[in-house]
Amino acid sequence: MKKRIILILLFVLSFISIGPLVKADMGPKPSLKLMINSYSDKRLYIELLIKGNNREYEFDVLEERNDSFEYLKDFLVDKSYNGYVSATINNGAPFWSKYLESKGNSHYYNFGYRMPRTFKVMIYDLESNTMFITNEISVRAFDSSTTIDLSNLKVEKSDSLVIYDQNITIREVHNYWKTLSGLLVRLVLTVIIEVFVLFLFSYKKKASYVLVIITNLITQIILTFGLFIAIYYNGSFAYIAALIIGEILVLLSEIVIYRLYLKEHGKYRSLLYAVVANILSLVFSLLI
């Protein structure tokens, strides 16, 4: 049994040693996906507007950050729309805007890095010389999906710029299941890992497995709820912090429970099992 425990501990240490290498590039990467349902299949050019004042800018850098900037610069440089100015120029912290693709009348865009969380969207139709400015929105999710519907508008070509800034609504679309489903997979795999480790520690009685499974289901469901709140609204750093703190609390709870009720072997083995199983589940959670 001692040899088996030593092998398990070496296995755990090997996981811990490769963990930082696998996740060396981990960091908060907020993003915004935008879909515009348009009245036309022609590409639309977009910019985020934020409340504030105009500031100095470096032209070359701005074109790199926003692939629509070349077509919008005359509307953005030193311009203000009811107190809202270009986010590409005036946000302070840099972010990037990118046109992805068009499918019929649906146009897709992506924003990333240190984008603002409260903004309006400026949309420019080069073909008709028409501009749309949405309502202000404050996105809640760390990785947000939003939609704008222009499909019911009738727009005609004009020599002078036409601006629509009323009743152009941007909405955030919440996809809770996408985030939650990944955490549920983690929950199931964690229970499997802890049951497998229980087997490696030579526990054989049905009562031992029932206790471990029930305990893990309760603690992991609570932990999963906390992780969901952390990652959905605050991103990967909050997820890691919540995971580490949560796993420590789970470990302390399981040490108490197993020392009291996991009686097939001695208290020392139940303590060691709780520590090894939770370290493995934590490392596994950081790797997936």
Residue 227 has what pLDDT?
86
Q: Which domain holds residue 166?
A: 31-174
Q: Do the Cβ atoms of 38 and 128 come closer than 8 Å?
A: no
Q: For residues 25 and 12, what is the distance between their CA atoms, to the nearest angstrom?
A: 22
Residue 3 is assigned to a structural domain of this protein:
no
Encode pLDDT of 181-193 as tens digits.
878 888 898 899 9
In this structure, is residue 148 part of a structural domain? yes
Are residue 201 and residue 160 in the same domain, yes or no?
no
User: The dihedral of CA 198, 200, 201, 204: what is its sign?
Assistant: positive
Name the residue among 7, 3, 8 with its Cα closest to residue 273: 8
- With 0-12 / 13-18 / 19 or more C-beta atoms within 10 angstroms meaning exposed / middle / buried, residue 71 is middle
pLDDT at 142: 78
| Distance from C-alpha of 46 to C-alpha of 55, rounded to nearest angstrom | 20
User: Which residues lie across from 84 on neighbouring strands?
Assistant: 51, 81
Q: What is the pLDDT of residue 15?
A: 46
Residues with Cβ within 8 Å of residue 109, at least 6 apart in sequence: 33, 34, 35, 36, 46, 97, 98, 99, 100
Cβ neighbours around 232 below 10 Å, total: 21
Residue 15 lies in a domain: no
- Count how many domains the chain has: 2
Mean pLDDT score of the chain, rounded to an integer? 84
pLDDT of residue 130: 96
What is the pLDDT at residue 1?
52
Q: 91: alpha, beta or left, given left = phi > 0 and alpha = psi -120 to 50?
A: alpha
Whether residues 105 and 87 share a domain: the answer is: yes
Is 208 found in the same domain as 146?
no
